[in-house]
Amino acid sequence: MDVTLAVGSAVAEPGERADGWIEATPLPTGGDERLPVIAVNGAEEGPTLWVTGGVHGDEATGVAVAQDAAAAFADVRDDLAGAVVAVPVVSPAGLRRNERTSYYGGDDPNRYFPDAERESSRPPETQERIATRLFEALTDSADLLVDCHTAQVGSMPFTIRDRVLHGEERTEAEAEALAEDLDRLAGALGLPVLTEYPAEEYLEQSLQRSTAGAVLNTAGIPAVTAELGGHSVVEADARRAGVAGVVAAAVEFGLLADRPPSLAAAGDGVPDAPVEYPVRRFVGPRTETAGVVRHRVAVGEPVEAGEVVADVVTPHGEVLEAVESERDGYVIGRAEGVAVYEGQAVASMAVRDDGDLVVPRDADGA
């Protein structure tokens, strides 16, 4: 049976690509804020993979990966069993500013997606309404999501795998089944995989309301975040790896039989994880001294607990503090700039993770 794919104003018949818009919110100057959408409908039926980017307005490589992945699938749509939907710019207001945030709110726009177990007495404001409209369009058709981001200047590409929560909305057995597909999706991208923060910290940071967190934990759809290098400019190697990873995910879940010969293999050009044990995200270590930071450890380099990763020095170069790693792991990115204040992180790391991927939502049980 032929199935028409309709997302916003983009309507694609089988074997077609269609470009259109998702209406986001009215503008006070007239007209509407719109999110660009690309719908690629395969010649055969199958799963629907969504690719999003640009929820933070300065994360240029994520925008490019969503655009270029859609183009890659459009080139092979006669061989596609299923569909691909790309929304390259989730935050047009942030993109116009070339900043992480939008002017609909001064905080992180990637913390406004629905949470089925969250209650609020306050009516939703603009950013939350935009996120909800995108979420509804996405969950109406998606079977999988890759949300494309960038981390910090000089960081290495990696995939973030959220914790799968169980509670009122999902039993532990249902969460375990969802986690199996989540593992498949995260592994298919060919990037080093980091599990998100422990459950209590995950909820404190409202990461269950991020794009991938909400799609996974509210909608029950496998969703991962691809962190693709640094922000502000498109990094060619990270863009190539991101597109290859999205295509590899399509192959893993049966949208394509094989990787198109014109594309690199997933993981090509991306450093392998330098450790074999499971890891999670960690922001740190942190300095207790204000000064000028001098890094000792390169991105992608393993460290052991107690090893010095950076020195903090005076403006004259005198060492004030040797900042030690608190855990075994490896560096995925370093603090931007040279000035640090007490309590600030000097790096981001992947650290040893002995926690469970499937966890109770109740923080007391996490």
Distance separating alpha carbons of residues 50 and 135, to the nearest angstrom: 11
Distance separating alpha carbons of residues 263 and 251, to the nearest angstrom: 13
- In the chain, the percentage of residues whose pLDDT exceeds 90 is 89
- Does residue 358 form part of some domain? no
Tell me which residue of 251, 226, 224, 254 sits closest to 239, measured CA to CA. Answer: 226
Domain that holds residue 159: 5-252
- Does residue 267 form part of some domain? no
pLDDT in tens, 249-305: 999 999 999 999 888 888 888 889 999 999 999 999 999 999 999 999 999 999 999
Question: What is the pLDDT, as a whole number, of residue 153?
Answer: 83
340 and 195, same structural domain? no
Of the pLDDT bands very low, low, confident and very high (cuts 50, 70, 90), residue 352 is very high
318 and 203, same structural domain? no
Tell me which residue of 124, 1, 20, 69 sits closest to 256, measured CA to CA. Answer: 69
Residue keyed to tokens 């259109």: 20
> How many whole angstroms from its chain centre is CA 62?
9
Phi first, then psi, for residue 202 (nearest 5°) are -55, -45
104 and 242, same structural domain? yes
Boundary of a domain, candidates 252, 267, 292: 252
292 and 149, same structural domain? no
169 and 317, same structural domain? no
Q: Are 310 and 293 in contact (CB under 8 A)?
A: yes
Q: What is the CATH number of the domain that holds 287?
A: 2.40.50.100
- Does residue 323 form part of some domain? yes
Distance separating alpha carbons of residues 15 and 17, to the nearest angstrom: 7
Question: What is the pLDDT, as a whole number, of residue 65?
Answer: 98
231 and 178, same structural domain? yes
328 and 213, same structural domain? no
Boundary of a domain, candidates 252, 270, 293: 252
203 and 90, same structural domain? yes
Count of domains for the chain: 2
283 and 247, same structural domain? no
Distance separating alpha carbons of residues 21 and 221, to the nearest angstrom: 23
**Residue 82, by phi and psi: left (phi above 0), alpha (psi -120 to 50) or beta?**
left
Retrieve residue 227's tokens.
């962190």
- Does residue 166 form part of some domain? yes
In eight-state DSSP terms, residue 124 is: P
Q: What is the CATH number of the domain that holds 247?
A: 3.40.630.10
- In the chain, the percentage of residues whose pLDDT exceeds 70 is 99
pLDDT in tens, 169-209: 899 999 999 999 999 999 999 999 999 999 899 999 999 99
- Does residue 311 form part of some domain? yes
287 and 247, same structural domain? no
Tell me which residue of 146, 163, 184, 137 sits closest to 49, measured CA to CA. Answer: 146
Phi first, then psi, for residue 37 (nearest 5°) are -135, 140
- Does residue 236 form part of some domain? yes
Distance separating alpha carbons of residues 320 and 333, to the nearest angstrom: 22
Tell me which residue of 283, 288, 289 sits closest to 335, measured CA to CA. Answer: 283
Angle between helices 236-252 and 172-188 (to 10 degrees): 130
- Does residue 317 form part of some domain? yes
- Does residue 362 form part of some domain? no
Q: In the predicted model, is pLDDT for residue 1 greater than 80? A: no
